[in-house]
Amino acid sequence: MTQQLDFKGRTAVITGAGSGIGAALAAALAARGANLALADIQEDRLAEVADALKSNEIKVTTHKVDVADKDQIGAFAKTVEAEHGAVHALFNNAGVALGGTFDRVTDDDFEWLIDINFYGVVRMTRAFLPLMQQADTAQLVNVSSIFGIVAPAGQTAYSSAKFAVRGFSNALMHELEGTSIGVTTIHPGGVNTRIAEDAKKPADMTEAELKAVKKMAKEGLVMPPPEAAEIILRGVERRRPRVLVGRDAHTLAIMERVFPIKYWDFIKKKVARREAD
C-alpha cells in the first residue's frame, strides 16, 4: 500500500504562488502545517500571499523566479536547500495563456508559452529531484489542464504544452516507480484564476472578439481556487497519479475517452448554443 503523504512539518515548493491555484495551495498547505518555499515572477503578489500566512507557525520563504530562466531555477534550488533542506512536495503550477488560432499566434509568443508551461516544469523537476531524493517520501505535482486531455481550437500553444506536461509526467512516473518519489498530474477544468485576464492576445484581436473571450472566460472559469486546491491536495496526499479538478474536467475526460476524435463535435455544439444565448 502506498504511504499517504503527511504535510505537517514538511517542505513544499510552489511555483506561480502569487495568485490563483498557487496562492490557494499555499494557504491550504500552511493550514496543514507545511513549511513553504513560494516562487512567482510577480514579487508584489507573492508578498501579499506570504503576509497572509504569517500567523501560521511555519517557515515561509519567498523567491522571485522566472521558470523560463534555467539559471534562476538553479539558484532557487540552491537557496531552498540552504533554507529548508529536503523537499517533500514540488508543485509545478506556474503557467501562462495565449489566445488566438495558430495562424494568428507569432513564433515568439508560441515559444514563450512553451518555455514557461512545459520547459519550466522540466527545468524545475530536474533542479529539485535531488532535494526530493533527500526526503523519506516525496511527491512531484505537475499542473497540466483539461486542455492536456482535450484540445480545443484556439489553444494550439496551450494544449501543446499541457499535453507535453502530461506525457512527461507519465513517463517520469514510470521511471520513478519503486522509489520514494511519486508523481501526480493535475488536470483542472474552469478555475477562477487570473490566467485568462493575464493571457497574451493577438495584436489584431478586435473588440468584439475580446468581448466574446471575456464572456466565455467568465462563464467557464467558475470554481474558486481554494476549492480547487483542496481537491488537488486530497489527491496528492493519497499520492494519486492523476487528479481531475471540477465537474467539467471529469465530463470532458470521459467524453474524450469514449469519443477520442468526435468529442470536438459535441463541444462545438455546446459553444454555439452558449454564444446564441
Please answer whether residues 173 and 144 qualify as being in contact, where contact means their C-beta atoms are separated by less than 8 angstroms: no
DSSP string, 34-61: -EEEEEES-HHHHHHHHHHTTTSSS-EE
Query: How far apart, in whole angstroms, are the C-alpha atoms of residue 190 and residue 248?
Result: 7
Residues 58, 52: Cα–Cα separation, whole Å: 12
| Element containing residue 227 per DSSP (H, E) | helix 225-237
Sign of CA dihedral 49, 55, 57, 59: positive
| DSSP 8-class letter at 229 | H
Are 170 and 185 spatial neighbours (Cβ–Cβ below 8 Å)? Answer: yes
Neighbours of 222 (CB within 10 A): 14
Q: Which three cell numbers stand for residue 184?
A: 501526480
Q: Do the bridges between strand 138-143 and strand 35-40 make them parallel or antiparallel, or are there none, so unpaired?
A: unpaired
Q: How far is the C-alpha of 233 from the C-alpha of 61, rounded, in Å?
A: 20
User: Which strands, in side-by-side order, build the sheet including 138-143?
Assistant: 60-64, 35-40, 11-14, 89-92, 138-143, 181-188, 242-245
Number of residues in the chain: 277
SS3 143: strand
Task: Compute the distance between CA of residue 79 and CA of residue 85 in angstroms, rounded to an integer.
Answer: 9
158 is catalytic: yes
Which of 7, 110, 128, 158 is flagged as catalytic? Answer: 158
Q: Could you list the active site residues?
A: 158
